[in-house]
Amino acid sequence: RTFLLDRCSPDEDLPPTGTARTLFCSFLLNMVIPARSSSKAYLRGSGKSFSTQTLIAIFFGSSLLALSFLAGVFYNESTHYDAPLKSNLRGAATLKIPVSVVSDTLIDPNQDSTQEFFPDSTKHNQKKWGKIKTRPDDWVEWSFHDVHSEFKCSEHAHDHHKPLPDLAFWNYYRDTFKRVVDNDIEFDFVPPTEGYTMNGDGKQPYYAKISPGKGRGLFASRDIKKGGVVHDGNASDIEMSANDWRSMAFALPQKMACDFSEWTWTQQTEKGGPYKIFTAFNISILMNSSKDPNTMPKSSYSSKMYALRDIKKDEEILTDYKIYPTKWEKVGLS
Ligand SMILES: C[S@@+](CC[C@H](N)C(=O)[O-])C[C@H]1O[C@@H](n2cnc3c(N)ncnc32)[C@H](O)[C@@H]1O
């Protein structure tokens, strides 16, 4: 005790010195020897002092820095992944700690947040949607078909009793994309449960309903004249990278991941241009295919859809998927 007190005596010229001495003596004064009034008086005579609040702030600040540094050392491999890195940036912004030391465990891709969006119990939700698969170490090498077969998506595709996606579904689905792919994404302004042309062209042209033998489908909500715009995918479809696609598949419960894979396609947006991966976050994605379609884009580079003939109210809206060739090998998913 004498040794410590001597170091705070104004008469002694012993280390520590300067700010370190003020910190050291403040710590003694506020934390270590607060009860001994004689010692307090002695220490107060030592000159400058920090308040208890400042000391606590310094203590927590340095602990947080040390912890974030250790987290970065243990999980620095996470910065090799492009999709979670975007989420890391968000984590870093919230915690105000350097990006280089943020780990992707802050945004857990295996986190089950279904209960935030669906009122039922986790057990019920898992029965309805399946479980979220743990993301394997080699997830960045998984192909479209690896995911499709591991998630048993053929079974899901043939299940014709899949529920119509409601608002809670779309909110959860969109939130997952924001959480694991792009927190800054701005979805289009039309509610995801509604059909639209996006050009203010009258009443919504379609609604979602079960289509016997095809799962869910789209049906005309009014008569649509030949040549009328049925849907403007150019304005609402979302493009993503192969790792964005994988991040989504591994963050969704199994059956939703299968929907996501059914709802993804490859497309060139200009002649000779690269193939890109697209999906949509609204009911337009439920449009089924036919060899005798009533709705098509004007070219394979566009996803603005027009009526090929007059379509009667409640008739199914059908396109021909062949217009967009599936080329997983050209987008890094084979
Ligand atoms: C873009 S989704 C369309 C929405 C899908 N019906 C659903 O319920 O999610 C594409 C999938 O729909 C199904 N589908 C589309 N057209 C079909 C058809 N003519 N007959 C049977 N199934 C079809 C296939 O399972 C296909 O993989």
Atom of ligand 1 nearest to the CA of 211: 6
Q: Is the pLDDT of residue 253 over 70?
A: yes
Q: Is the pLDDT of residue 262 over 80?
A: yes
Q: Of 96-110, 118-132, 222-236, where does mean pLDDT reach its minimum? A: 96-110
* In contact, 169 and 208? CB cutoff 8 Å: no
Cα of 214 to ligand 1 centre, how many Å?
5
- CA separation (Å) from 12 to 3, 17, 20, 26? 11, 11, 15, 16
Please report the pLDDT score of residue 105 as a whole number: 38
> Domains in the chain, please, with CATH?
2-73 (no CATH), 126-330 (2.170.270.10)
Q: Are 52 and 59 in contact (CB under 8 A)?
A: no
Tell me the C-alpha distance between 317 and 288, whole Å. 7
For residues 106-118, average pLDDT: 69
CA angle 308, 314, 320 (to 5 degrees): 40
pLDDT tens, 145-164?
999 999 999 999 999 889 99
d(CA 34, CA 225) in angstroms, rounded, equals 85
Q: What are phi and psi of 333, to 5 degrees?
A: -120, 25
In this structure, which residue's CA is closest to atom 22 in ligand 1?
214
pLDDT above 70 as % of the chain: 81
Which has more confidence, 120 or 186?
186
Among 166, 258, 288, residue to substitute to test ligand 1 (most atoms within 8 Å of Cβ)? 288
Residue ranges lining ligand 1, Cβ < 6 Å:
157, 162, 213-217, 259, 262-263, 285-286, 288-290
In degrees to the nearest 10, what's the CA dihedral of 48, 50, 51, 53? 170
Instruction: Please tell me the residue having the least CA distance from ligand 1 atom 4.
Output: 286
Checking if the pLDDT of 116 tops 90, the result is: no
pLDDT at 93: 30
Mean pLDDT of 97-117: 53
Look at residue 85 and tell me whether its pLDDT is greater than 60. Answer: no
Query: Which residue's CA is the nearest one to ligand 1's atom 7?
Result: 216
Pairing relationship of beta strands 288-289 and 318-319 according to DSSP bridges: parallel
**Would strands 238-240 and 275-279 be described as parallel, antiparallel, or unpaired?**
antiparallel
Q: Return the pLDDT at 51.
A: 74
Give the residue ranges of DSSP H helices in the chain.
2-8, 18-27, 37-44, 52-75, 82-95, 114-117, 122-129, 144-150, 153-157, 167-180, 233-236, 242-251, 254-262
First-to-last CA distance in the chain? 70
Separation of 262 CA from ligand 1 center, angstroms? Answer: 8
- Is residue 250 predicted with pLDDT exceeding 90? yes
Mutational test site, ligand 1, from 148, 166, 262, 322, max ligand atoms within 8 Å of CB: 262
CA atoms of 293 and 140, how far apart (whole Å): 37
Nearest CA to ligand 1 atom 10: 262
Q: What atom of ligand 1 comes closest to residue 286's alpha carbon?
A: 4
Give yes or no for a contact between 106 and 91, defined as CB atoms under 8 angstroms apart: yes
Tokens of 176: 């997952």
**What's residue 181's pLDDT?**
94
Q: Whose CA is nearest to atom 21 of ligand 1?
A: 214
The DSSP bridge pattern shows strands 206-211 and 304-307 to be unpaired
What is the overall mean pLDDT for the chain? 83
Ligand 1: which residue has its CA nearest to atom 25?
Answer: 157
Q: Tokens 């170490």 sit at which residue?
A: 137
**Of the candidates 188, 192, 196, 286, which has an alpha carbon nearest to the alpha carbon of residue 238?**
188
Among 36-45, 190-199, 252-261, name the one with the lowest average pLDDT.
36-45
pLDDT at 97: 31
pLDDT-wise least confident of 8-17, 54-63, 104-113: 104-113
SS3 240: strand
**Which ligand 1 atom is the nearest neighbour of the CA of 289?**
16
Each residue's pLDDT tens digit, 270-316: 999 999 999 999 999 999 999 999 999 999 999 999 999 999 999 99
* Model confidence at 109: pLDDT above 80: no
